[in-house]
Structure 1
Amino acid sequence: MIKVHNPYRQKYHHSYNSDVCPFCNQEIIEKQNIKLLEGSYWMVFVNQYPILDGNLMLVTKRHVEDTSDLYENEWKELKEKVEETKAILSKVFETKSFNVGFNVGPDSGSSVRHLHWQVIPRIDRQVMNGFSGFIAGIHTVRISPKELKSKIEKAL
């Protein structure tokens, strides 16, 4: 098992039980959204509290909490956005390996009720940050969300 140390998660708080949806908040949208990847139904966010380096999220533009609430055109565009997001992350991180997934419902581990997919590039060096990282199985998130957004925008 890999343990993740992320200095950017210090301000993180779970908002699943909050009345305010962070992904519907215009200030958060402006901060996290990569406009050049945005579609008609989906936004692509830089995760402000990444699990691993390169962690992006596909977020529905309208507030949806369950996959059963998605319209056919949203499902269709989701496929396109997943592939587009993988392509740009592949270019930036020089990888063809990804974790792509989502959590639905209060017991799933999701911290935000707004439906979103995680797209995370996987690279060998994430497992091994030197000998001590190899022994302890620790990965440190090294790229800040702001730096990741800049790298993605330059690559586009």
Structure 2
Amino acid sequence: MGSCEFCNLSSEDEQWLFYTSDFWKVYLADKQDYIGRCIVVSRRHCESLSSLYLQEWDDLKYTIDLLEKVISKALDATMFNWTCLMNNAQKKNETCAHVHFHLRPRYKESIKINDQVYYDEEFAHHYKNDKENKLDSESGEVLFKILKHCMTKMN
């Protein structure tokens, strides 16, 4: 689709792809406000959840199970917040909707990435939309390598 953000990802965005299934792609989000935050994107341009095929739902279940296992193992996540809001597509006239999910791992205990310690200050509470990116670019690359390696071993 011509104006679809997810159908037209840049090569810069595509470098953060760390898993592809038959129907879904998983990217490490550029904004790491919650460490390990990922975006799960439908490979087919699809504008609503009700338009997904049964095979896509089945593959999404497999992808969710795998992703939660990988992040639990790699980062010791305690739980996960999943959202599929797609509000931004309505805010921008030049963008059309594309089914995708945001995964925010949550941590009861601190985690360490690239020798830096991070805390989930809102653990067991709703995530905040206005949080700042917690990782510098070098730590983001380390996190990506950790997740990609663990995904390769577990898949």
Aligned residues: 127
- Answer whether contact 1:54 1:89 (CA < 8 A) is retained: yes
- Answer whether contact 1:102 1:118 (CA < 8 A) is retained: yes
Q: What does residue 147 of structure 1 align with?
A: 142
Which secondary structure does the structure 1 equivalent of 2:30 belong to?
Answer: coil
Query: Residues of 2 paired with 1:88 and 1:25: CA distance?
Result: 27
Where in structure 2 are there 5+ consecutive unaligned residues?
Answer: 109-118, 123-130
Provide closer, same or farther for how the CA distance between residues 122 and 109 of structure 1 changes in structure 2, counting only shifts above 3 A.
farther
Q: What does residue 6 of structure 2 align with?
A: 23
Provide closer, same or farther for how the CA distance between residues 85 and 112 of structure 1 changes in structure 2, counting only shifts above 3 A.
farther
State the one-letter code of the partner of 1:58.
V
Which secondary structure does the structure 2 equivalent of 1:92 belong to?
Answer: helix
Alignment RMSD: 2.8
Which secondary structure does the structure 1 equivalent of 2:77 belong to?
Answer: coil
- Answer whether contact 1:103 1:109 (CA < 8 A) is retained: no
User: 46, 66, 69: which is aligned to 2:51?
Assistant: 69
Where in structure 1 are there 5+ consecutive unaligned residues?
Answer: 1-18, 129-137
Superposition deviation, residue 147 in structure 1: 2.9
Provide closer, same or farther for how the CA distance between residues 104 and 141 of structure 1 changes in structure 2, counting only shifts above 3 A.
same
Q: What does residue 74 of structure 2 align with?
A: 92
- TM-score, normalization: structure 1? 0.68
> C-alpha deviations, 1:122-143, integer Å up to 9, x for none?
0132118xxxxxxxxx776136
Q: What does residue 80 of structure 1 align with?
A: 62
> C-alpha deviations, 1:30-71, integer Å up to 9, x for none?
32211xx31100011111123311001110001112101101
- TM-score, normalization: structure 2? 0.68
